[in-house]
Amino acid sequence: MQKYEKLEKIGEGTYGTVFKAKNKETHEIVALKRVRLDDDDEGVPSSALREICLLKELRHKNIVRLFDIMISEKKLTLVFEYCDQDLKKYFDSCQGEVDANIVKSLMYQLLRGLAFCHANNVLHRDLKPQNLLINKDGELKLGDFGLARPFGIPVRCYSAEVVTLWYRPPDVLMGAKIYTTSIDMWSAGCIFAELSNGGRPLFPGSDVDDQLRKIYKILGSPSEDTWPGMTTLPEYKDYGFHSPVSLSHVVPKLPSVGRDLLQKLLVFNPSMRMAADVAMNHQYFNDLNPSIKN
């Protein structure tokens, strides 16, 4: 730890405190995530171990880089590349207006980072603005892999206690214990709408019931025809019939081609949600700056 000089506290993560620091030898600015190891704990928290294991494997420009790991008797410190802000703070600085080209750039980078995770059999499971980091060059990076997990390994079921409520898909809200990359694609759709609305969340529910009601009120009511097996989910409830609202009222600043992409992400039936690599090729991104695509 003598190598680093702490500059300021910048936040609290899933399981620790994050500091801005400087490498005394190289003068590089880094982020230190510090995890306290309690005496009665069984060693390192599982979320920290999971994040370390996954980030050692996931090397990509749209995924935050883990540089180093230091451990002592009382604490574990992870050294990450430093990003100036997260998407939540970025929204606060924009005062409700995000330029249409920036919306497109950030969304493309989010999809590219997700496509890489999914190609490497990793579900993030906690996508939200606070976990998307943005550096001074406008590069977006997926951060906080404390709830991420590999998939493809045979398991009986996954936890339903994942993804912050506002970004949690309806199948998981209804108690689905088995899910795929579609869990992240719903969250990406919610973030896309939030980007185009300058930081206003799309479904800000207060609990699971309220969350599902808010989703139904905007997207309309699903049925067994559009989503086979819905009524057999453990927490399924009938919330009455709702007609969908036109997305032109929901995301008025998003052009029709962008609304088409959003509609393909926010699909009740998880098997019909657009995959990240397919979404990157959507015509919404046809006029994206080539330097971002490459």
Catalytic residues, by residue number, are 126
Neighbours of 218 (CB within 10 A): 17
Q: Where are the alpha helices (DSSP H) in the chain?
A: 46-57, 87-94, 100-119, 170-173, 182-196, 208-219, 247-250, 256-265, 276-279, 290-293
Q: Looking up tokens 């180093």, which residue turns up? A: 68
Q: Are the beta carbons of 224 and 168 closer than 8 angstroms?
A: no
What is the DSSP code (8-state) at residue 73?
S
Q: How far is CA 181 from CA 53, 60, 91, 111, 152, in A?
A: 19, 18, 26, 12, 11
